[in-house]
């Protein structure tokens, strides 16, 4: 009898040394190969004609359309570059609403009508492709007879070469739209939000600096992940099917000692990280930071921040590369938000700010008082925008995996609030409490701002429990799930800030029309905002129960699960939010909402049936063996008059019987509730049953299984245990 668990453990023991790098002397400087697989500045200059280069630059900077001729020149240059590097194929690379990336490969090789074999990449193929859209979620935007979807080149994100084994493919970042041009991906709304924010922010910047003519949102993500051994991973059907363990008893030693965080990196993991970093650097992903995270087997990687569109692509690419590289090392990377119960899950902090063409970070306070008024303007407007649109921000991070984290006392709560730290809190209070907005009050406020401490340096004042924290020169959005596409929440951030800045400008203009000085007018508006948005600021412990009560009193929403949070997308607020900004029309929004709900329902259905099968086909048989053994033991002892020595066995047996009954009962309810879910009228109702009825049954079932894991003979237990999988050998 061989259990896959022991085979897996044996496989690790017998494995030759893990793949470490051959030490070939000093590692080459990263700068010598950084971006070598990117069709960036350098490659463009070398492979494009002067005029094509100028056109593509203009297109990147101002979205200017490219002529067919220019597209042909660019495509040809890209092909030459890619072929020299060993590419045989090209692919439009896009980000459908599945949350993953997608690509369809075509060869450069083709045949002409007269049968000649040639290699080509035309402008037409570069600019637009028609993958079979029918298998991608569209939320009902496409009917089956109109299944076509188009991918369209996005010149603002550079093409790159994806290496997979010996295969090399030229990947062209694209957006994915319907026949009539509606967004069906994460990228088009993101790009629209970026240009919306740009337009809204420029006039506000010009209050302070007339030279500003471009504002770009910036993003630096921090990606958390788990690494586990491949053999052990494969021996856990729940992990292979759902990305998380559906049962599993926490190991005696997990993260209580907190000895993993920032601890020394195990050698095998270190080899993986180095390999990953090399791959990333070749792709121009500027990863820079690596360290252990809080939970055992948990790690983090973070880059230098970039312009938001490229940063989003780089994160999507990273997740893909992480997965590929892990296989080389006989490891598996887990990007799920909560792969293991009882220890921390994984998030993806999104550090967000805005930068100008003049090189200014708009959320960076300076020493110069005039500049500080600009900082204060963008700072207070961000807070005001969160105050107004917190619910939409919450909806943008809603998905099945993240439900296990948010509010679970290890990650930010489902309640959105803003943390700004002591110094800034005091400053805002002083400004808000200033009496009338006469000259003297304004002067006092300006004076106060000029004395702002250097926040960039003073980064000690941190609140790790806040979902939305100011960290010196940027806001850090911490409630994003580790597996999510950053584009979702980042689209919302850009949009809410854009809307807010338009309102701000209008408010300031009203005061200016009444003859107020500019500084005075700005301060008056800010003062008003500070007063209005007070409810969203929270400096205390976000994990506490008191906060839940207080937030309620303040009128802040607490959407505890995905279906509730997604309902926000079905409100007037959301329609206006996305409509007024032009980021999504009602049709797109409706489709987006439907796809998200559908994703949720699908994930929960898979989890529920995977769990039912796991318990029925693996756990119960193991428990029954143990049960039989105990019963036989008791009978044997009874037969030779040793009844008195059977108490322990009987108690264990009783416990087993109790837990088996619990399993039987919850399996029956689980199946009943699943059946009910499948017979609901619509996907929202199905989500409700899955969330409120099926999920709790899965928990009950798990409790019984986990209790049994602690009783049943270790040799009989079929599933790799936490203590085994969380220790990378």
- Residues of this chain that interact with ligand ADP (CB under 6 A) are 218-220, 222, 302-305, 351-353, 361, 471, 473-474
Which of the choices Mg ion, ligand ADP, none does residue 303 contact, using the CB cut-off of 5 to 8 A by kind? ligand ADP
State whether residue 108 is helix, strand or coil.
Answer: coil
**Nearer Cβ to ligand ADP, position 158 or 355?**
355
Please give the C-alpha separations between residue 121 and each of 44, 77, 86, 230, 576, in angstroms, as whole numbers.
16, 9, 15, 39, 42
Which of the choices Mg ion, ligand ADP, none does residue 329 contact, using the CB cut-off of 5 to 8 A by kind? none
Show the tokens assigned to 393: 């921000």
Least distance in angstroms from the C-beta of 60 to ligand ADP: 20
Least distance in angstroms from the C-beta of 240 to ligand ADP: 31
Rounded Cα distance between 447 and 523, Å, is 12
Least distance in angstroms from the C-beta of 454 to ligand ADP: 15
Rounded Cα distance between 460 and 471, Å, is 9
**Nearer Cβ to ligand ADP, position 290 or 727?**
290
Least distance in angstroms from the C-beta of 362 to Mg ion: 19
**Nearer Cβ to ligand ADP, position 300 or 588?**
300
**Nearer Cβ to ligand ADP, position 477 or 608?**
477
Question: Tokens 């303007």 sit at which residue?
Answer: 377
Which of the choices ligand ADP, Mg ion, none does residue 218 contact, using the CB cut-off of 5 to 8 A by kind? ligand ADP
Question: Tokens 């005061």 sit at which residue?
Answer: 511
SS3 content of the chain, % helix, strand, coil (to 5): 50, 15, 35
User: For the CA atoms of 456, 458, 460, 461, what is the dihedral angle to 10 degrees?
Assistant: -90
Closest Cα partner for 60 from 160, 195, 202?
A: 195
Least distance in angstroms from the C-beta of 420 to ligand ADP: 15
Closest Cα partner for 490 from 626, 322, 312?
A: 312
**Nearer Cβ to ligand ADP, position 395 or 471?**
471
Least distance in angstroms from the C-beta of 37 to ligand ADP: 21
**Nearer Cβ to ligand ADP, position 497 or 726?**
497
Least distance in angstroms from the C-beta of 293 to Mg ion: 12
Which of the choices ligand ADP, Mg ion, none does residue 219 contact, using the CB cut-off of 5 to 8 A by kind? ligand ADP
Q: Give CA 19 to chain center in angstroms.
A: 29
* Residue, CB closest to ligand ADP: 220
- Its sign, for the CA torsion 540, 546, 548, 549, is negative
Q: Give CA 254 to chain center in angstroms.
A: 25
**Nearer Cβ to Mg ion, position 92 or 349?**
349
* Residue, CB closest to Mg ion: 349
DSSP 626-653: HHHHHHHHHHHHHHTT-GGGGHHHHHHH
Neighbours of 307 (CB within 10 A): 15
487 close to 95: Cβ distance less than 8 angstroms: yes
Which of the choices ligand ADP, Mg ion, none does residue 468 contact, using the CB cut-off of 5 to 8 A by kind? none
What crossing angle do the helices spanning 487-513 and 187-205 adopt, rounded to 10°? 30
**Nearer Cβ to Mg ion, position 104 or 462?**
462
Rounded Cα distance between 438 and 431, Å, is 13
**Nearer Cβ to ligand ADP, position 182 or 461?**
461
The alpha-carbon radius of gyration of the chain (Å, integer) is: 28
116 close to 20: Cβ distance less than 8 angstroms: no
State whether residue 187 is helix, strand or coil.
Answer: helix
Which of the choices ligand ADP, Mg ion, none does residue 428 contact, using the CB cut-off of 5 to 8 A by kind? none
Least distance in angstroms from the C-beta of 52 to ligand ADP: 32
- The neighbouring-strand residues paired with 354 are 217
**Nearer Cβ to Mg ion, position 318 or 569?**
318
- Its sign, for the CA torsion 360, 365, 367, 373, is positive
Binding residues for Mg ion, rule: CB under 5 A, are: 349
- The neighbouring-strand residues paired with 353 are 218
Q: With residue 608 as reference, give the H or E element that holds it.
A: helix 586-614
**Nearer Cβ to ligand ADP, position 110 or 463?**
463
Q: Half-sphere exposure of 555 toward its Cβ, with a 13 Å CA cutoff?
A: 7
Which of the choices ligand ADP, Mg ion, none does residue 483 contact, using the CB cut-off of 5 to 8 A by kind? none
Least distance in angstroms from the C-beta of 301 to Mg ion: 12
Least distance in angstroms from the C-beta of 478 to Mg ion: 8
Rounded Cα distance between 141 and 129, Å, is 19
Least distance in angstroms from the C-beta of 471 to Mg ion: 6
Least distance in angstroms from the C-beta of 470 to ligand ADP: 12
Closest Cα partner for 192 from 726, 686, 588?
A: 588
**Nearer Cβ to ligand ADP, position 44 or 363?**
363
**Nearer Cβ to ligand ADP, position 454 or 715?**
454
Closest Cα partner for 706 from 608, 615, 630, 605?
A: 615
Least distance in angstroms from the C-beta of 321 to ligand ADP: 17
Q: 342: left (phi > 0), else alpha (psi -120 to 50), else beta?
A: left
């Amino acid at each position: 009898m061989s259990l896959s668990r022991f085979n897996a453990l044996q496989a690790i023991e017998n494995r030759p040394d893990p793949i470490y790098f051959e030490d070939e002397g000093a590692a080459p400087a990263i700068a010598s190969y950084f971006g070598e697989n990117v069709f960036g500045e350098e490659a463009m200059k070398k492979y494009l004609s002067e005029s094509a280069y100028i056109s593509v630059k203009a297109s990147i900077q101002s979205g200017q359309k490219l002529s067919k001729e220019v597209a042909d020149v660019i495509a040809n240059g890209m092909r030459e570059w890619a072929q020299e590097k060993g590419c045989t194929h090209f692919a439009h690379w896009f980000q459908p609403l599945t949350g993953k990336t997608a690509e369809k490969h075509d060869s450069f090789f083709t045949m002409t009508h007269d049968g000649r074999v040639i290699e080509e990449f035309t402008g037409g193929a570069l600019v637009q492709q028609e993958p079979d859209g029918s298998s991608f979620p569209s939320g009902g935007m496409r009917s089956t007879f109109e299944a076509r979807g188009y991918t369209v080149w996005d010149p603002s994100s550079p093409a790159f070469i994806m290496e997979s084994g010996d295969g090399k493919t030229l990947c062209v970042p694209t957006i994915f739209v319907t026949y009539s041009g509606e967004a069906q991906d994460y990228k088009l709304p993101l790009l629209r939000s970026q240009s919306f924010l740009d337009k809204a922010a420029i006039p506000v910047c010009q209050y302070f600096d007339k030279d500003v003519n471009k504002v770009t949102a910036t993003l630096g993500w921090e990606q958390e992940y788990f690494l586990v051994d491949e053999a052990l991973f494969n021996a856990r059907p729940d992990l292979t099917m759902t990305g998380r363990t559906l049962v599993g008893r926490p190991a005696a030693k997990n993260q209580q000692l907190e000895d993993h965080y920032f601890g020394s990196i195990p050698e095998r993991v270190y080899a993986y990280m180095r390999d990953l970093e090399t791959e990333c650097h070749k792709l121009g992903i500027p990863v820079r930071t690596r360290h252990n995270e809080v939970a055992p087997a948990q790690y983090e990687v973070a880059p230098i921040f970039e312009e938001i569109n490229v940063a989003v692509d780089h994160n999507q690419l990273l997740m893909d590369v992480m997965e590929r590289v892990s296989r080389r090392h006989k490891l598996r990377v887990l990007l799920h938000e909560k792969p293991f119960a009882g220890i921390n899950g994984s998030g993806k902090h999104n550090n967000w700010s805005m930068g100008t063409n003049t090189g200014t970070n708009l959320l960076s306070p300076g020493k110069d008082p005039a500049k500080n008024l600009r900082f204060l303007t963008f700072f207070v407007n961000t807070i005001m925008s969160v105050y107004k649109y917190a619910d939409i921000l919450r909806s943008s991070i809603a998905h099945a995996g993240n439900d296990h984290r948010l509010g679970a006392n290890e990650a930010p709560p489902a309640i959105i609030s803003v943390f700004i730290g002591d110094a800034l809190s005091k400053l805002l209070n002083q400004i808000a409490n200033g009496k009338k907005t006469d000259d003297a009050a304004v002067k006092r406020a300006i004076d106060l701002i000029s004395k702002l401490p250097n926040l960039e340096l003073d980064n000690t004042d941190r609140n790790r429990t806040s979902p939305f924290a100011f960290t010196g020169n940027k806001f850090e959005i911490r409630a994003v799930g580790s597996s999510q596409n950053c584009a979702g929440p980042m689209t919302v951030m850009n949009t809410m800030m854009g809307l807010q800045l338009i309102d701000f400008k209008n408010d300031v203009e009203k005061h200016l029309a009444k003859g107020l000085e500019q500084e005075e007018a700005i301060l008056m508006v800010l003062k008003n905002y500070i007063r209005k948005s007070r409810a969203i600021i929270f400096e205390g412990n976000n994990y506490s129960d008191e906060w839940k009560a207080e937030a309620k009193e303040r009128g802040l929403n607490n959407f505890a699960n995905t279906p509730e949070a997604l309902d926000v997308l079905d409100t007037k607020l959301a329609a206006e939010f996305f409509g007024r900004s032009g980021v999504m029309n009602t049709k797109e929004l409706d489709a987006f909402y439907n796809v998200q709900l559908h994703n949720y329902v699908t994930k929960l259905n898979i989890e529920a049936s995977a769990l039912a099968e796991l318990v029925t086909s693996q756990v119960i048989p193991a428990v029954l063996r143990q049960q039989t053994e105990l019963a036989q033991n008791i009978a044997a002892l009874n037969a030779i008059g040793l009844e008195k020595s059977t108490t322990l066995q009987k108690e264990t047996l009783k416990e087993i019987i109790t837990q088996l009954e619990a399993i039987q009962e919850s399996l029956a309810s689980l199946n009943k509730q699943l059946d009910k879910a499948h017979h609901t009228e619509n996907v929202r109702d199905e989500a409700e049953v899955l969330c409120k009825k099926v999920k709790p049954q899965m928990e009950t079932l798990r409790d019984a299984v986990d209790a049994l894991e602690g009783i049943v003979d270790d040799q009989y237990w079929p599933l790799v245990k936490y203590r085994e999988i969380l220790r990378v050998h």
